Chains A and B, each alone.
Chain A
Amino acid sequence: MIEVESLAAIRAGNRILDAITLSVAEGTVTTLVGPSGGGKSTLLRCLNGLETFAEGRVTIAGHRLSAGDHAPRALERVRRDVGMVFQGFNLFPHLSAIDNVTLAPRIVRGVPPAEARRRGLELLQRVGLSRFVEARPATLSGGQQQRVAIARSLAMEPRVMLFDEPTSALDPQMSAEVLDVIVELARGGQTMVVVTHDHGFARRAATQVVELVAGRVHRAGPAAEILAGSGH
């Protein structure tokens, strides 16, 4: 589902990602771990074309991204098939929960409004927010907002989901709510890459663990091996 070959990214003269090669099989969960500043976010954002890279190749959900690719049309096609959930939620504050969820299907995929709403209600129910359909983001807790954000991504029916520290801005209880949703998705066979510091999550759901240190793959392998090796 995802193949990364010899990817390198340069920012402000530094190779902040170098010689990254990894692959993610369909229906599996990969967690990206490693110290802060290691390049996890940058790698994730290279996967859906939010950031560009200088060398290497990415194949994701049947699309190919090459170094220096900027063509907006191609990137839009990739992003339609690749969802992303951010640490800071980034919900659209001027829209209700349901409108956040239905906006992209309607305007990007051209789903009829009634159909989009039906799907949106289903998704909000799946993330446990049936009671907050018409709520504005500002009136929701962080955990609730992140669950809306997940539903918003899922509404595009992405083949791959990318999560960038989805629970780092949340307290433990809200984290648990959000992680339960992600674990549930994983069980449902959703291919995903999750940046996280939460080893508990990795143990529960990860198929593969990749550790990035200073822009390079430090360790990578089946979750059981790596997590056992890390001594946790």
Chain B
Amino acid sequence: MTPARSGGRWRCWPAAVVWLLAAVPGAGLAAELDEVLARGELVWAADQEGGGPHVFVDPDDPTRLIGFEVELAALVAGELGVKARFQQGQWDRLPLLLGRAADCVVNGFESTPQRARDWRCSRPYFAYALQLVARRDSALDSLEALAKAGPRGPWRIGVLTGSAAEIEMRRRSDLAIEVVGYDGTVDCLEQVRGRVLDAGLMDDCIASFNADRFGELRGVGRPFAGGTYTILTAPDTPRLSAAIDEALGRLITDGRLKALYDRWDLAGRQQMLLLRDAAEVPPAPRGSLADLIRGALPLLLSSAGMTILLSVASFPVAILIGLSVAVGRLHGPAWLRPFLACYVEILRGTPLMLQLYALFFLLPKAGLALPALVAAILGLALNYSAYESEIYRAGLKAVPVGQFEAALALGMTKWQCLRHVLVPQAVRIVMPPVTSDFIALFKDTSVCSAITVIELTKRYSVLALSTGRIAELAIVTALLYLAMSWPLSLLSRWFERRLEQRCERAPG
């Protein structure tokens, strides 16, 4: 049971590295304009979880995607004489799809010097500014208030990971804020509503789009730090990029883009004025590899620390719960056993991701707002407790029945037998599978990034996308993971050898 499972995880992990390495921009796989035309399809990537007004699921027909970018993509594809086809991806990693799963990214990607350096950026198609959103009853009532810490310490500000809002907030060392990265803006707004966050910073169009749904929230101060959206294409597709530019130009001149924005209540006239005068963003210079490593290594190391913290804090809890559940199922009162069996099946039968999500995003709705780190540790502990309980159950059953009888014959109570005779032996028996499960958990910590905890994998992906050094950083990150898990597998092998020796020496 366990070896197969951890084996599965072992296989996943190198595959992920290969995938990351394969995602190097300019790997020569990008589809140029001719291929798009020959295919008759322009594949555009976006994240429907990112929400409205960009790309979102039609509430009236959940099988349909709508949003102003859905219509824009259709218009651009139409200008190229092809059909538009949607490709889903996680927002901050959408550019990695370029050249393999998608021809372009159309999803509120702000023109930044980094993006201009690492990808091809089209001419601007939309102008945005950043809007701070807080609860109506919040003490945070102006942008100036961010300069001094709030009643609960530094203001906790949620942003979309990898967005201009995040870059802007992390740049502002003058503000008394703690920045928390989210994978979706709606998640972030939910957490502002639930008072987990003091405010969220997002593009003004997103703030107004969600204004009705989040009636408890309001905009704080005027929109600031404006910029434009660009359509990203792979670096080695100059002709596709130029064709998209021309298409956008025609859509702007002939008024179709203005009409589109008016339809979406996005102030078409003002958009056109801003787009007409928008300056091109110059690409950032590419730093040397040495500078990159010097800058990234401390961040990667501290995130590796978070990975270790998540593992060593959650695993002992998982073992404790797992052992208790195993003992309860084998020796507890009969009425308790079906409940414990359900506990195990539910936690084993649902994805860790879903459990983390429930702990972090759903519990606050029930009035219990856990800090992300606590939710992450608890989620990992609960999920793994189900697996550990199965291991310990097998371990307890493997202790010969004569041990239990010998202990009983000495006048021990059942619990004394368990505590002093059965459990210590079971713990020794299950040492190897438990150790290999610890390695599996260690790698599963990366799932915690879904609830804003930045561990090594998340840090890698953020750094890789902001520096464009996807392959180089993947290697550094992989080495860090190996440096951490290698000693663990050595330990697990050592336990196994020791156990074998014990078995050989034991009589009969």
Contact = CB atoms under 8 A, between A and B. Distances in A.
Contacts of A109: 411
Contact of A50 (B403, B409, B425, B428): B409
Nearest to B504: A138
A190 interface: no
B409 to A, nearest CB: 4
Contacts of B414: 72
A90 B402 contact: yes
Contacts of A79: 408-411
A92 B421 contact: yes
B332 interface: no
Nearest to B502: A138
Interface string A88-116: 10111110000000011001110000000
A93 B506 contact: yes
Which are the 3 A-B pairs with shortest beta-carbon distances?
A80-B411, A90-B406, A104-B410
Given A90-B403, A94-B425, A152-B410, A107 B506 contact: no
A93 B399 CA distance: 10
Interface residues on A, range: 20 to 34
A92 B403 CA distance: 7
B411 A104 contact: yes
Interface of B: 400, 402-403, 405-414, 416, 420-421, 424-425, 428, 502, 505-507
Most buried by B among A92, A103, A152: A92
A125 B420 CA distance: 25
27 contacts: A48-B409, A50-B409, A76-B411, A77-B411, A79-B411, A80-B411, A81-B411, A83-B409, A83-B410, A86-B405, A86-B406, A88-B402, A90-B400, A92-B403, A92-B421, A94-B428, A103-B410, A103-B420, A104-B407, A107-B416, A107-B420, A108-B411, A109-B411, A139-B505, A149-B406, A153-B409, A153-B410
Interface in A38-83: 48, 50, 72, 75-77, 79-83
A91 B409 CA distance: 12
A142 interface: yes
A142 B409 contact: no
A90 B402 CA distance: 6
Contacts of A93: 425, 502, 506
A50 B405 contact: yes
Contacts of A152: 410
A16 interface: no
Contact of A72 (B400, B406, B413, B425): B413
Contacts, number: 72
Contacts of A50: 405, 408-409
A156 interface: yes
A84 interface: yes
B406 A92 contact: yes
Contacts of A139: 505
B85 to A, nearest CB: 63
B410 A108 contact: yes
A182 B425 CA distance: 30
A108 B416 contact: yes
A13 to B, nearest CB: 22
A75 B406 CA distance: 14
Contacts of A88: 402
Contacts of A153: 409-410
A138 B506 contact: yes
Given A107-B420, A138-B507, A90 B413 contact: no
A138 B410 contact: no
Nearest to A91: B406
A154 B407 CA distance: 14
B43 to A, nearest CB: 61
A86 B428 CA distance: 24
Contacts of B405: 50, 86, 90
Contact of A156 (B403, B410, B421): B410
A81 B421 CA distance: 20
Contacts of A108: 410-412, 416
A86 B400 CA distance: 13
A48 B405 CA distance: 11
A138 B505 contact: yes
Contacts of B420: 103, 107
A219 B506 CA distance: 40
A76 B420 CA distance: 16
A92 B420 CA distance: 9
Contacts of B403: 90, 92
Contacts of B400: 90
A191 to B, nearest CB: 16
Nearest to A145: B507
A156 B507 contact: no
Given A93-B425, A94-B428, A142-B507, A156 B402 contact: no
Contact of A104 (B412, B424, B428, B502): B412
Interface string A137-175: 011001001000100110010000000000000000000
Nearest to B413: A76
A193 to B, nearest CB: 14
Contacts of A91: 406
B33 to A, nearest CB: 72
A145 B502 CA distance: 16
Most buried by A among B400, B406, B428, B505: B406
A75 B506 CA distance: 31
B423 to A, nearest CB: 10
A88 to B, nearest CB: 6
Contact of A86 (B402, B412, B505): B402
Most buried by A among B411, B424, B425: B411
Given A75-B408, A90-B406, A93-B506, 5 more contacts: A50-B409, A86-B405, A107-B420, A108-B416, A156-B410
A79 B402 CA distance: 16
